[in-house]
Amino acid sequence: MTEVILHVYDVTNSMNVRANSAILGLNRFMRGGIGIGGIFHGAVEVYNKEWSFGYCESGSGVFSCQPKRNPMYTYRESLSLGRTELTRMEVEDVVQELSREWPGVSYDLLSRNCNHFCDSLCVRLGVQRVPLWVNRFANAGDAAFEAVDNTMAKLRQAKEEMLSASRNAMQFMFGSPASSSAPRLDSATRNTPGNTNTTSPLVGSPTQLSFKSSSSSSHDSGSRDGSVISSSDSDDDDEQSPPPPRPDTLP
């Protein structure tokens, strides 16, 4: 059984001196002034060895160093998390398992950083978990990105709903494409209750109309010609027949 200690560092690994000074001032105010956290690096000490996690292009991102001696950051404070029941060898086995689960390329500043690793290690060791204020900056940033993603998803859904409503409105006002492309029937050719004929007797086909027109024209022409012929025959008959006898010439 041994004590497990969380060591907290200010993240001052920037090459810009002003940036490092700004982070120190921010952490001093956020942690020391109002106590809500800041931008920190965390590491867990167990059996006189400090373990943490960081980015690397190949292999595991889990590494160790002497307690409170990480050269990349500025040591700030330490917190006791309780005592683990695991032996030194058992702790080594736990660290080996985590080394396989935490490759360096999986590092993410907001969702999979050193403080997330320390929290997982504390769970395996059976001690208190990392206080929320240590990783509050990353949690707030991750929550902000999640909120943005949710907002964008809602906007996309609202856009789809607006397009669907617009299509429904257009179909209601102007009819669906299927109904607009269907042939329209004339009022004279529509079915009426009790009438099974699809064609009105008042409307004929173009062939019938043409035939009737031709028949009417020939009939009218024939009537005019026939009247002339009939008049000519009547005149000839009048010329050939003798006139009736006059009364005074009768015997």
For residue 119, the enclosing domain spans 2-146
Q: Is 80 part of any domain?
A: yes
Q: Is 194 part of any domain?
A: no
CB 116 within 8 A of CB 67: no
| pLDDT tens, residue by residue, 37-55 | 678 899 999 999 999 999 9
| pLDDT tens, residue by residue, 149-202 | 555 565 566 666 666 666 666 666 666 554 444 455 444 445 545 444 444 444
Q: Is 241 part of any domain?
A: no
Q: Is 193 part of any domain?
A: no
Q: Is 249 part of any domain?
A: no
Question: At 251, is the pLDDT very low, low, confident or very high (cuts 50, 70, 90)?
Answer: very low
User: What is the total count of domains within the chain?
Assistant: 1
Token couple for 177: 């494409």
| pLDDT tens, residue by residue, 109-144 | 888 999 999 999 999 999 999 998 998 877 664 444
CATH at 107: 3.90.1720.30
Q: Is 161 part of any domain?
A: no
Q: Is 229 part of any domain?
A: no
Q: Is 216 part of any domain?
A: no
